Chain A
Amino acid sequence: MNASNDAFVEFDRVQKSYDGETLVVKDLNLGIGKGEFLTMLGPSGSGKTTCLMMLAGFETATHGDIRLDGRPINSVPPHKRGIGMVFQNYALFPHMTVAENLAFPLQVRKMGKDEIETRVKRALDMVQMGDFGGRRPAQLSGGQQQRVAVARALVFDPELVLMDEPLGALDKQLREQMQFEIKHIHEQLGVTVVYVTHDQSEALTMSDRIAVFNDGRIQQLAPPPDLYERPENSFVAQFIGENNTLDATIAERDGEFVKVEFVDGSTGQALAVNCGGPGEKTRLSLRPERVTFAQPGEWGVAGKVKELIYLGDHIRVRMQVLGNNDFVVKVPNASRHATLSVGETASLSWVAEDCRALDAA
């Protein structure tokens, strides 16, 4: 999706380079709607944090415009942008109490004492930290600090809040709990959130839309289900969720589908998503849970069982299929599931729509 004119936050052909030789962010176009929860997801070094820092005003864009509510903010200093931000390590001021931390943005805005008190209390109550106003950040647990950091970023009623991997330092259980809390706060307040993470499950759980970053570009911008079920290129397919890949050559095109020829000469059908014409290489993407064992007489490819991992609700079968040693099939632990043993050969099958022919990169 390209930057549209009614977007609340807009990146317009933004580029960023630190050393003048390589671009960290390459030609970024992104529009974020008001009240949206948008996640920038990507491996480290993909440019997602740089984008966030440019939006916050801590980095300057080398080229292009960043607009907030229609007005360019490239030359507006960070403290005048009115954007709330939650930092990776919370950045709670250690020499101030929780209440003083929350009062800080209100004091620099020269609010009255009574109003500050009311707002601080309201913000603390919102994150269920009402009783902790007098504590120092060091006296709080990681999850509590996280809540205070969120409250501080929201206490001055910004319309846009940026979160830079805010849950990275928490343990798994707490992280999942905080994901929901942040999501609920977002729904309650209707504030626009731009969230940076490298954790895909976090992105899938919380976001309205996810922008998958790699190599300084947005690879795909889509709502979570689309991203998982309809990846547009190999990187996204591989980065989001578990994925089986099969290398093949396109034999012929057939409407929405293509006929592909595998390395061993056998053929199959796939959905043409992002592939070239006949004769060109392609990489097929197939989710493990969409692979089934072929009924006798049905189309299928041969796979050899390499490893069985019992996971309770399902059994993970690692197989050798068409030269791929890490082809994974998930067999649900249903009452009459197929029993397999290592070394056995089985015939695998799938629906052509689930097998996406993507770029060969």
Chain B
Amino acid sequence: MAEATANGDIAPDEHRSASGQLLAADGTPLKKSIRRSEARARLRAFLLVAPLLIFVLLSFIAPIADMLFRSVENEIVADTLPRTVEALDAWDPQTGPPPEPVYRAFYDDMLEATELKIHTRLGSRLNYEESGMSSLFRKTNERRLERFDLDQPLQPQFVDLDKDWGEVEPWAVIKTFAPRYTWGYFLQAADMRLTPGGVEMAPEFEQIYLKLFWRTILLSCTITLSCLLLGYPVAWLLSNLPARSANLLMILVLLPFWTSLLVRTSAWKVLLQEQGVINDILVYIGIVSDAGRLVMINNQTGTIIAMTHILLPFMVLPLYSVMKTIPPSYLRAAKSLGATDWTAFWRVYFPQSVPGIGAGAILVFILAIGYYITPELVGGTDGTFISNRIAFHISTSLNWGLAAALGSLLLILVLGLYWLYDRIVGIDNVKLG
């Protein structure tokens, strides 16, 4: 019915093709005409965006994709020991040490590898999975291999070089990590490990990542909450002051933005340390004794205090921009209807400021969960985040695969929380201005 009335409204000078498509005056379909007439505008829009797009693609998206790829990439074993991997294919670790052909293939592979001096690299890679592998490969160097008598069986000569070569363990590790792609890094990032016998939990004393992830989430939530508690009244004041005082206060809120992050964090070190300003004042006033100085830095307290301070503007600004749009007449209306100040705030003002809380909270939380510098400087050992561990694997232990896996997990975690947030709060409710 609706169709019929809609068609009834069409002016007689409109043209339609046989299939009912609307046609332009020259007979081309109207939709095509629109596309053609707007092609220039679209091209111009694209050209305006293109430089940034290319920049982001090359300098951001591509490296991230590459890093993420490293979390599953494991070509080094198959590339360095191609023959060994093939020979180990038929071997079952249950039956004891591998047979002679495996040693033969391994000898050939290692001879090539040692010549290219890449065997130590393989050693370090396998050492992530089983400690001792690095020294085993380093020991198996070119000089030693050249002394082997190729007419004799090679197994005893390898055992002679290092008795570990006669064990099942190193061969099993090589066989387990022979595939070109592996979940090993991800399992490690989740405190599990891939062993020849299958997936199992890492030993208790090695389990750190899950704890670290949990701590990162917990601390980020704490920081978000304290930002909200401290920022909400400030934002309220900002949005209710006359313009001139509001601008001054706004400058004070933004002041930290104009100071280097490093300077601010270092300032907190000066303030919070045991011989620092705050402790000195507390001792001077007599609230704490000289022996009982508070430990406020190089632990979780330090991280929470410093990061709350640094991330506070990210909470205040979205809150302010939302509160600015709530007319004061709502509060007045509520009061004139008989609500006390608190009821008026809680039932009328607060619900309308929720989009600002949502925007501020998600902004602060996502920034916090990936924060690196501040926890590194003031976090000590129990106030560090997962990002500090990622940095450690990138720059110190050089286990990039694990770093990539941890990074991917962090990314998945953030996306997951974002999804959860969307389900609970609704992302349409987030308002930045």
Contacts and interface: CB of A to CB of B under 8 A. Distances in A.
A218 B348 CA distance: 36
B29 to A, nearest CB: 37
Contacts of B332: 56, 58, 78, 85, 87, 91
A98 to B, nearest CB: 14
Interface in B301-334: 327, 329-330, 332-334
Contact of A93 (B330, B336, B338, B343): B330
A132 interface: no
Interface in A77-105: 77-85, 87-89, 91-95, 104-105
A109 B337 CA distance: 9
Given A91-B329, A91-B330, A156 B352 contact: no
Contacts of B338: 79-80, 82, 105, 108-109, 156
A104 B336 contact: no
A147 interface: no
Contacts of A93: 330, 333-334, 348, 352
A119 to B, nearest CB: 13
Nearest to B348: A93
Interface string B340-378: 110110011001100000000000000000000000000
A87 B341 CA distance: 18
A104 B339 contact: yes
B335 interface: yes
B340 A79 contact: yes
A80 B336 CA distance: 8
A82 B338 CA distance: 7
Interface residues of A, number: 28
Nearest to A152: B337
A83 B347 CA distance: 20
Contact of B327 (A79, A91, A156): A91
B339 A95 contact: no
A83 B338 CA distance: 8
Interface in B153-198: none
Nearest to A80: B338
Given A79-B340, A94-B352, A95-B352, A87 B333 contact: yes
A87 B339 contact: no
Nearest to B349: A93
B329 A108 contact: no
Nearest to A95: B351
Contacts of B330: 91, 93
B245 to A, nearest CB: 15
A156 B337 contact: yes
Task: Tell me the dominant secondary structure on chain A's binding face.
Answer: loop
Contacts of A153: 336-337
A79 B339 contact: yes
Nearest to B350: A95
A109 to B, nearest CB: 6
A92 B343 CA distance: 16
B337 A88 contact: no
The winner among B333, B336, B340 for most chain A CB atoms within 10 A is B336
B271 to A, nearest CB: 41
Max chain A CB contacts within 10 Å: which of B330, B337, B352? Answer: B337
Interface in A132-169: 152-153, 156, 162
Contacts of A156: 337-338
* Residue of B327, B333, B347, B348 with most partner-chain A CB within 10 A: B333
Given A58-B332, A91-B329, A91-B330, A105 B352 contact: no
B336 to A, nearest CB: 4
A121 to B, nearest CB: 18
Contact of A91 (B333, B339, B340, B347): B333
B329 A88 contact: yes
Nearest to B351: A95
Given A95-B351, A104-B347, A108-B343, A79 B329 contact: no
A153 B336 CA distance: 9
B381 to A, nearest CB: 46
Contacts of B341: 79
A105 B337 contact: yes
Contacts of A109: 338
A85 B334 CA distance: 10
Interface in A46-96: 56-58, 77-85, 87-89, 91-95
B333 A85 contact: yes
A85 B336 contact: yes
A295 to B, nearest CB: 58
A79 B351 contact: no
Contacts of B333: 85, 87, 91-93
A83 B337 CA distance: 7
A152 B339 CA distance: 13
Contacts of A105: 337-339
A87 B329 contact: yes
B34 to A, nearest CB: 32
Q: Give the residue among A78, A80, A84, A162 with the most B Cβ atoms within 10 A.
A: A78
Contacts of B343: 108
A274 to B, nearest CB: 39
Contacts of A104: 334, 337, 339, 347
B339 A83 contact: no
Interface string A208-250: 0000000000000000000000000000000000000000000
A12 B151 CA distance: 122
A248 to B, nearest CB: 48
Contacts of B327: 89, 91
Contacts of B352: 93-95
A57 B336 CA distance: 8
Residue with the highest number of chain A CB atoms closer than 10 Å, among B327, B335, B341:
B335
A158 to B, nearest CB: 9
A91 B335 CA distance: 12
B329 A83 contact: no
A190 B327 CA distance: 31
B420 to A, nearest CB: 23
A195 to B, nearest CB: 15
A66 to B, nearest CB: 15
Contacts of B348: 93
B141 to A, nearest CB: 74
A288 to B, nearest CB: 40
A181 to B, nearest CB: 20
A292 B340 CA distance: 61
Given A87-B329, A91-B327, A108 B337 contact: yes
21 contacts: A56-B336, A57-B335, A79-B335, A84-B336, A85-B332, A85-B333, A87-B332, A89-B329, A91-B327, A95-B351, A104-B337, A104-B339, A105-B339, A108-B339, A108-B340, A109-B338, A152-B337, A153-B336, A153-B337, A156-B337, A156-B338
A-B interface, 10 closest residue pairs, ranked by CB to CB distance from nearest:
A105-B337, A91-B333, A85-B336, A91-B329, A78-B335, A95-B351, A108-B339, A79-B335, A108-B338, A87-B329
Interface of B: 327, 329-330, 332-341, 343-344, 347-348, 351-352
Given A78-B336, A108-B338, 12 more contacts: A58-B335, A78-B335, A80-B338, A82-B338, A84-B336, A93-B348, A94-B352, A108-B337, A108-B343, A153-B336, A156-B337, A156-B338
